[in-house]
C-alpha cells in the first residue's frame, strides 16, 4: 500500500471511531442500475484513487472507500462532475434512491465532499434529457441529524415520470473550494421500475427544488437497513488526504 493510501485509511478509521455507529442507508443490490444486472459505467469525470465509479452501482472494488464513489479533488467550487452508465437492455425507470455522504460535522461540513446540486438524465434517442434536479442549501446535508449524529448523510427517494432508456447520466455540482477532500462522495444510486408508495407520482414536469412545497413532496430522508452486506460510512478525516 502506498504511503498516501495508508494515511488515508488511518484517517478514515479514526473518523469512524469518532463518529460512532452509523445507521444503514437504504441501498439495493438488485435494482435496475446495479452492476449485478449488467450495468456498465460508460464515462465520468476523474474518480479519486481511493474509490471506483462502479461502486455507486453496487460494486465493491477498492480497499479504502469500498462502499462509495468519490470524484477527483482540487477542482474549483461549482465544478460539475458527471457519470454515465448503460443498462444491459432498456429499462423503464419510475423512481430512484440517492445516498450521499460528506465529511462529518462538527469539524467538517458540506465543503468537504459535498454537493450543491444533483441532476438526473435519461437518453431520449438524441440527447440526455433531464428528468430530476435538486439543489442543496446550508452547510450540512442533514442539520437535524435525522440519519446520523454526524449530520453528514443525505438520503433521497423520489418518483419520476416513467421513462424507458438504456442510457442514463447523473451530474453533481461540487460545493467546496479546491482541496484534497473537495470531490463529491456518493454512497449509492439505485433505480427502480416501480413508484415509491410514500411519494406522489409526478407528471412530466421536472421538480423545482427551489420550491419548498415541491421539495417536501419529493424528498424523504429515511434510515433503514439495506438488504446487502455493504455498509455506509460516516467520515471525519483527521488529516490530509491523498490526491487522485
Could you report the per-residue pLDDT of 15-58, keeping only the tens digit for each?
A: 333 333 333 345 788 899 999 999 999 999 999 999 999 999 99
Contact 99, 129 (CB under 8 A): no
What does the DSSP 8-state code read for residue 77? T
pTM metric for this prediction: 0.74
Could you report the per-residue pLDDT of 172-212, keeping only the tens digit for each?
A: 999 999 999 999 999 999 999 999 987 778 764 444 444 33
Residue at grid coordinates 493510501: 5
Alpha helices (H) along the chain: 3-19, 212-218
Amino acid at each position: 500500500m502506498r504511503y498516501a493510501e495508508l494515511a488515508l485509511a488511518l484517517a478514515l478509521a479514526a473518523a469512524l471511531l469518532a463518529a460512532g455507529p452509523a445507521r444503514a442507508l437504504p441501498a439495493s443490490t438488485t435494482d435496475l442500475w446495479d452492476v449485478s444486472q449488467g450495468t456498465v459505467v460508460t464515462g465520468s469525470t476523474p474518480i479519486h484513487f481511493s474509490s471506483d465509479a462502479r461502486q455507486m452501482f453496487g460494486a465493491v472494488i477498492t480497499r479504502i472507500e469500498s462502499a462509495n464513489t468519490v470524484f477527483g479533488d482540487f477542482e474549483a467550487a461549482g465544478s460539475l462532475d458527471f457519470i454515465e452508465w448503460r443498462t444491459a437492455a432498456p429499462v423503464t425507470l419510475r423512481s430512484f434512491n440517492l445516498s450521499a455522504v460528506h465529511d462529518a460535522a462538527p469539524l467538517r461540513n458540506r465543503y468537504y465532499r459535498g454537493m450543491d446540486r444533483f441532476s438526473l438524465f435519461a437518453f431520449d434517442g438524441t440527447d440526455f434529457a433531464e428528468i430530476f434536479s435538486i439543489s442543496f442549501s446550508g452547510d450540512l446535508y442533514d442539520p437535524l441529524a435525522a440519519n446520523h449524529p454526524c449530520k453528514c448523510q443525505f438520503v433521497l427517494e423520489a418518483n419520476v415520470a416513467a421513462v424507458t432508456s438504456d442510457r442514463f447520466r447523473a451530474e453533481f455540482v461540487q460545493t467546496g473550494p479546491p482541496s484534497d477532500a473537495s470531490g463529491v462522495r456518493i454512497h449509492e444510486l439505485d433505480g427502480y421500475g416501480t413508484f415509491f408508495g410514500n411519494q406522489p407520482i409526478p407528471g412530466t414536469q421536472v421538480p423545482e427544488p427551489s420550491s419548498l412545497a415541491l421539495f417536501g413532496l419529493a424528498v424523504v430522508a429515511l434510515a433503514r437497513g439495506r438488504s446487502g452486506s455493504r455498509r455506509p460510512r460516516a467520515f471525519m478525516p483527521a488529516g490530509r488526504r491523498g490526491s487522485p
